[in-house]
Amino acid sequence: MRKLVSLTVMLLLCTAVAFTQNRIITGKVIDATDGSLLSGVTVSGGQTGVQTDAEGNFSISIPASVTSLTFSFVGYESQTVTIGDRTYLDVALSSTESSLEEVVVVGYGTQTRKEFTGSAATVKGATIAERPLQSFAQGLTGQASGVNIVQPNGLLNNPPVIRVRGLSSISLSSFPLVVVDGIPISTADVSDNAVTNNPLADINPSDIESIDILKDAASASIYGSRAAAGVLVITTKKGKAGRTTVNYDGWVGSNRAVRLPEVLNAEQFVAHKNQAIENAFSVNPAFSSAPRDAFALMRDDDGNIIDTDWQDVVYRTAFSHSHNLTVSGGNEKTTFYFSAGMSDQDGFLKQNKFERRSGRFNISHQLTNRIKLFGIVNYTNSINNAPNSGSYDGGAFASSGLGRIAMAQAPNVPIYNPNGTYNLEASSIGRGANNIAMQWVNPQVLLDMDKNRSENNRLFANIGGEYEIIDGLTFKTSYTWDLRLTDNQRFWNPIQGDGYSWNGHAYNRTSRADNWNWTNTLQYRKTFADIHNLSVLIGSDAQNTRIENWGGQRDNIVDPFFTQYQGTFLNNTAAGNSIDEIAFEAYLGNISYNFDNRYFVTGNIRRDGNSALSADNRWGTFGGASVGWNLSNEAFFRNGGLGNIFDNFRLKASWGKVGNGNLTNYYGAYNLYSGLIYGSVPAVRYTQSGNNDLRWETSTQTNIGLDFAILNNRLSFEVNWFNKDIDNMILAVPQSPSKGIPNNEILQNVGSMYNKGWEFVVNYTPVRTEHFRWNTVVNFATLENKVTALVDETTPILTFTSGLELSSITQVGYSAASIYGVRSDGVNPENGRRIFLDNQGRQVQYQHLGGQDAWTLLDGTRVSSGSVTGATHVLGNTQPKWYGGFNNTFSYKNFDMLLNFTFSGGNYIYNGTRAGLRDQRVWNNSVDVLEAWTSEKRDAKIPRAIYTDNVSNGSAFLISDNVERGDFLRLQTATLGYRLPASALSRSGISNVRFYVQANNLFLVTSYTGVDPEISSNGNSNTASGIERNSIPQGRMLTLGLNLGF
């Protein structure tokens, strides 16, 4: 009894001691990036530890001697917070991309980064969700090492050009395979009019949880034939068990064009053109293309000089807004994610508009403890509208392209006549006071009356299940249906522009793309004796895509009252009909083993069939293997002192071979004839020379990497070296035109090319205190691309910009898609003539209108024009030799800031727009021409202006004077955010409120003089990159956003 009493006393004493010395701290833990509540976070102080509840709240009782609390959570960086005299703590944890526990979504499964021995980059959905983008892919710029992304120009929803470790092919697509929740989806522009329609925009960026970019062949090889260009694995958000959360994200923004070229005003224009005409007469007194003083200033009724700024007519400051609402949650058995999104974005080009409405429902249900079901339903409606910008692939020389008209239209003519009607003359703008006809159309009419529209209605549905047959052995089946209905509409008015010569024209086309995919896998995962970790997977994958297009063309409108396809027209014909179908079938296997988390081995094999190859060659076997060694888990490492320096140290290597089945022609193996009409009778004619031996193009890649972390994981470093050999390249081999092969090309397996380079990622947290945190990630990649074989050493592949201007060459010994043209060598100070270097390296000067003496040596000896125009050379590589990103996140108390820089360089760009801006026809010119040669300005860089001269400045053929370096540094994104303190929200029911302002493309440092060094007038072309021709510029966007969490 005494004992009991004394025990009680002791307990009481202890309690008393504890009572006096312990204190209770409460608080809330959230995710620093998106503000979501984190449940299950371990909060520890001294010997005590608790976990946060579903609402992110914690309450911990600690002795007074404990002055700080440590917060740790899987996938997040641990944080230690000094308590001071506070009793309530708001804590925001940051996830870190270098974290080894992070999950990498690889083919048909997932691995943690520490198990993963390939090369992949992961980008979190939050990085791209809050930005004024149309598709997620645009937001990846500078985010992942070895992934180079070029947004071709500022036209909304223009598909970005993505290159994972360089160019992956020459004739086949080099766009990476995009896999959304397991199904490969199409990536090409699906519009067939002047608006661009990137189907990737059908995926609401806000629904994306993460994007994993598989770069090396060993990890991509599980995707076999589709993976030669790398793989973007998109995982959409899923619900989490626990409290149901509701989030609203929205932003409003404005967008305007930057770096527009400066062109002549009306007075400068008139003076310059008249002088050029005088100069023409001085060369050839019989000059007949324009009378003397053909240009004249025009005045309005008030006597003011007409000086139209066509850039003002065509461009605007545009307004956009976007809203997204999600509800997600669940219990142990069922989780769900529901979202509804709307985005209305206006482009800085007038009438350019992108609208998306989307709904998504992801659900997962544990039926029994062995069977799990999951499903996705996603419906998206997206509508793209644009005038003809001339800024889509193939549109560079469109005569109605507003990008060019905004620069080249004469400034001394008005938009409207005094009576308010459009200023027109036949198919062009009216001449005003000029004594010569104008060439370009009046863009106002096109903006008011023409229409290009492309609308997608897309259903994306998935159903699947998993059955755990015995412990560790799981069968999974997943069927996905991706149905896209695209409606393309085009209307051209009868009074001006493309519709003029048709007297009004309408063309509509409907496209039905039915894409299904069924995968089945059987996976066995088991750990033996605690140290042998094994995973074996076998599976099958079948995919079929059928695209049916049908449409109609109508022209010669019965009355200009009609402005749509449904109006009445005299001529009605079928147009745009096609049917294409392709199928893939594959059987795959994967084995992963690691010994004690120290030695890692993975192997992949896949047998792939592709209907687009010839019957005897359509099956191919691909595969890869990788090994890894985690030194930091070795005893000798830990005990040898290195363990004190390195928190982690790992070596890895991989090798793999994949095929490229991204053929654009699904029937390239066959000789084919097409049906057509001759007048009004049936006709059939030869239209394709096939190749019955067409087989797989392959890509073999080796990757060697090292990564380590020091300073308590505050500094991590990753380096990879890769070598990617592309062999048996399927090339459209140029045939001599006199052979009469349709399109002068036949697909053949003839070429080889390699890409090699280094990739570095440094992730450093220079400051990590309770209130202030700064994290910086630098990724830097080098790339060397070289073509090692084509059909033969002397037959290059020549590519024409928009099919018209010879601009690019792919030749053995050089980087693919190099700029190709004639070397110019300044201006002769004696006479102002352009000097070229001819095929013997001689200086040849060009005198426009010089007749037989147009081309002469400097001493006046005549040479043939062919000696110059045939003297074409490789003038520079267009693929960057180095590129990357420099991304900084800062947080201070409730403020957060993001500064993302992107950079790229070592490449050249052909500034073809400048050739046009200095063209001496009726076009307006850049202010550069004010510095053209005259007898007073003998050291000029620009030749003497002679009216109609389209040769001296590079319009007639490409000249080296218009080739410039493309190096740049851009502040891609700058964001400043503020989160309301939890105390301010305590009773509102709102758990999280964050405001942010963001600027995109805030500044650009470059010596390039065109609209933007990030340019691709030829879109996704492999062999004609780095060309700027008449494209609209990039925009600068400012947005104001709000995140709300309930």
Partner 1 sequence: MLFNKIYKLSVTRLVLGVLLTLVFTSCKKDFLDKQAELSIPEDMTFETPERILAQVNGLYSSVKQGELFGGRYLIYNDIRAEEFQNRTSNVVTGFSSYQFTNDPSDSYIANFWIVGYLTINRINKFLADFELPENQGVVTDEVKAIYIAEAKFLRAFTYSALVQLFAQPYTLDNGASRGLPLRLTPNTTSEGNSMPSSTVAQVYTQILQDLDDAEANLPESANVTRAHKNTAIALKTRIYLRMGQYDKVLPEAEKIVSPSAPFQAPGGVTHRLAENVAAVFGQEAAQPENILSFPMDNTNAPGTQNQLGYYYNAGNIEYYLNRGAGSILSDSTGWPLTDARRLNFVENYNANWTILTKYSADPPYLDWIPAIRYAEVLLNTAEAEAEAGSLERAHALVSAVRERSDDSYTVPEFTTKEIALETIFLERRIELLGEGFRAPDIQRRLLPFNSVGAGASIPHDDSRYVFPIPTREILTNPEVE
Q: How many CB atoms lie within 10 A of CB 461?
A: 16
Among positions 206-265, residues that touch partner 1 (CB under 8 A) are none
Stretch of residues binding partner 1 (CB under 8 A), selected from 172-180, 569-577, 901-909, 964-972: 569-577
Q: How far is the CB of 756 from partner 1 (least distance, A)?
A: 29
Q: How far is the CB of 919 from partner 1 (least distance, A)?
A: 9
Among positions 404-433, residues that touch partner 1 (CB under 8 A) are 426-428
Q: Which of 289, 533, 614, 713 binds partner 1 (CB under 8 A)?
A: 289
Residue 331 in contact with partner 1, rule: CB under 8 A: no
Measured between alpha carbons, how far is residue 752 from residues 148, 725, 749 in Å? 22, 7, 9
Among positions 635-674, residues that touch partner 1 (CB under 8 A) are 666-667, 670-674
Q: How far is the CB of 30 from partner 1 (least distance, A)?
A: 42
Q: How far is the CB of 962 from partner 1 (least distance, A)?
A: 16
Alpha-carbon distance of 431 to 437, in angstroms, equals: 5
Closest to partner 1 by CB, 110 or 520 = 520
Q: How many CB atoms lie within 10 A of CB 155?
A: 27
Stretch of residues binding partner 1 (CB under 8 A), selected from 63-71, 580-588, 695-703, 883-891: 580-588
Among positions 866-905, residues that touch partner 1 (CB under 8 A) are 866, 869-870, 872
Stretch of residues binding partner 1 (CB under 8 A), selected from 20-28, 506-514, 571-579, 1021-1029: 571-579
Q: Which of 73, 251, 348, 502 binds partner 1 (CB under 8 A)?
A: 502
Alpha-carbon distance of 306 to 895, in angstroms, equals: 51
Residue 865 in contact with partner 1, rule: CB under 8 A: yes
Where in 419-531 does DSSP place strands (E)? 424-425, 428-429, 451-470, 473-492, 505-528
Helix (H, G, I), strand (E, B) or coil at 951: coil
Q: How far is the CB of 678 from partner 1 (least distance, A)?
A: 4
Among positions 700-739, residues that touch partner 1 (CB under 8 A) are 733-739
Q: If we measure between CA atoms, which residue out of 777, 896, 986 comes closest to residue 34?
A: 896
Q: Which residues lie closer than 8 Å to 136 by C-beta, 6 or more apart? A: 128, 200, 203, 205, 208, 211, 234
Q: How far is the CB of 273 from partner 1 (least distance, A)?
A: 13
Residue 860 in contact with partner 1, rule: CB under 8 A: no
Q: Which residues lie closer than 8 Å to 550 by C-beta, 6 or more apart? A: 509, 510, 574, 576, 577
Closest to partner 1 by CB, 368 or 935 = 368
Q: How far is the CB of 344 from partner 1 (least distance, A)?
A: 35
Q: Which of 21, 501, 566, 712 binds partner 1 (CB under 8 A)?
A: 501
Stretch of residues binding partner 1 (CB under 8 A), selected from 37-45, 93-101, 116-124, 501-509: 501-509
DSSP output for 341-357: EEEEEE-SBTT-EEEEE
Among positions 965-984, residues that touch partner 1 (CB under 8 A) are none
Q: Lay out the site mask for partner 1 across 533-552 (x = CB under 8 A, - = otherwise).
A: -------x-x-x--------
Q: Which of 55, 278, 581, 784 binds partner 1 (CB under 8 A)?
A: 581
What's the token pair of residue 194?
């002047």
Q: Which of 950, 969, 990, 1042 binds partner 1 (CB under 8 A)?
A: 950
Task: Provide the Cα torsion 808, 810, 815, 820; round to 10°.
Answer: -30
Task: Provide the Cα torsion 624, 630, 634, 637; round to 10°.
Answer: 130
H/E run at residue 801:
strand 797-801
Taking every pair of Cα atoms in the chain, the longest distance, rounded to a whole number of angstroms, is 132
Alpha-carbon distance of 410 to 425, in angstroms, equals: 14
Alpha-carbon distance of 154 to 403, in angstroms, equals: 11
Closest to partner 1 by CB, 17 or 426 = 426
Residue 61 in contact with partner 1, rule: CB under 8 A: no
Closest to partner 1 by CB, 122 or 691 = 691
Q: How far does CA 864 lie from the centroid of its chain?
A: 45
**Could you tell me whether strands 578-595 and 177-180 are parallel, antiparallel, or unpaired per DSSP bridges?**
unpaired
Closest to partner 1 by CB, 661 or 885 = 661
Closest to partner 1 by CB, 821 or 977 = 821
Stretch of residues binding partner 1 (CB under 8 A), selected from 29-37, 356-364, 500-508, 720-728: 500-508
Among positions 739-798, residues that touch partner 1 (CB under 8 A) are 739-742, 744, 746, 748, 791, 795-796, 798
Residue 956 in contact with partner 1, rule: CB under 8 A: yes
Q: Which of 641, 675, 841, 860 binds partner 1 (CB under 8 A)?
A: 675
Closest to partner 1 by CB, 14 or 469 = 469
Q: Lay out the site mask for partner 1 across 600-639 (x = CB under 8 A, - = otherwise).
A: ---------xxxx--x--x---------------------
- Residue 617: phi, psi to the nearest 5? -125, 15
Q: Which of 303, 418, 420, 679 binds partner 1 (CB under 8 A)?
A: 679
Alpha-carbon distance of 997 to 898, in angstroms, equals: 10
Residue 678 in contact with partner 1, rule: CB under 8 A: yes
Strand partners, 1043: 249, 994
DSSP output for 574-598: E-S-EEEEEEEEEEEEEEEEEETTT
Residue 1030 in contact with partner 1, rule: CB under 8 A: no
Residue 582 in contact with partner 1, rule: CB under 8 A: yes
H helices within 285-439, ranges in order? 310-314, 402-408
Q: Which of 162, 318, 761, 922 binds partner 1 (CB under 8 A)?
A: 922
Q: Which residues lie closer than 8 Å to 668 by C-beta, 6 or more apart? A: 612, 688, 690, 691, 694, 747
